[in-house]
């Protein structure tokens, strides 16, 4: 399950295009599993993370990480940072991001500010 603090949203991307943002909002928590979240997103899209996701090698204390994801013959930019605690997938084509959001929505758990699931009241757990 991908735990976020608010529903993912497609927003204009600074520069050009759009970005699908997953806000975790746990700044500077270097244990936030962004790489595992990306693997889960790629897998939920029916893709193989080893073939369709390219990230730099892991480095302890990494931050401001950019890579690529291949989806529907498009190369998308993926980015995550621990400083602001979010993950984004960017594309010039908003429809591609809307398709991704629809396909991964069942894997998303939105926790409230107290870190509990609004559906059950239970503390949200990450499967990563």
Angstrom distance (rounded) from CA 69 to CA 47: 10
**Is the torsion defined by CA of 45, 41, 128, 107 positive or negative?**
negative
- Count of CB atoms situated within 10 Å of the CB of 24: 23
Stated pTM of the model? 0.83
In whole angstroms, what separates CA 79 from the centre of its chain?
A: 8
Q: How do residues 75-120 score in pLDDT, each as one tens digit?
A: 999 999 999 999 999 999 999 999 999 999 999 999 865 544 434 3
Angstrom distance (rounded) from CA 18 to CA 116: 29
Domains of the chain: 2-110 (3.30.1360)
Q: How do residues 23-48 score in pLDDT, each as one tens digit?
A: 998 899 999 999 999 999 999 999 99
């Amino acid at each position: 399950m991908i735990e976020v603090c608010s529903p993912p949203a497609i927003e204009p991307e600074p520069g050009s295009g759009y970005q699908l943002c997953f806000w975790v909002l746990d700044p500077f928590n270097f244990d936030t599993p962004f790489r595992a979240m990306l693997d889960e997103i790629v897998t939920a899209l029916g893709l193989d993370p080893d073939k369709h996701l390219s990230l730099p090698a892991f480095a302890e204390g990494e931050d401001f990480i950019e890579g690529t994801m291949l989806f529907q013959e498009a190369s998308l930019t993926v980015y995550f940072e621990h400083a602001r605690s979010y993950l984004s997938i960017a594309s010039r084509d908003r429809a591609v991001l809307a398709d991704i959001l629809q396909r991964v929505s069942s894997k998303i758990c939105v926790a409230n500010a107290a870190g509990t699931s609004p559906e059950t009241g239970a503390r949200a757990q990450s499967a990563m």
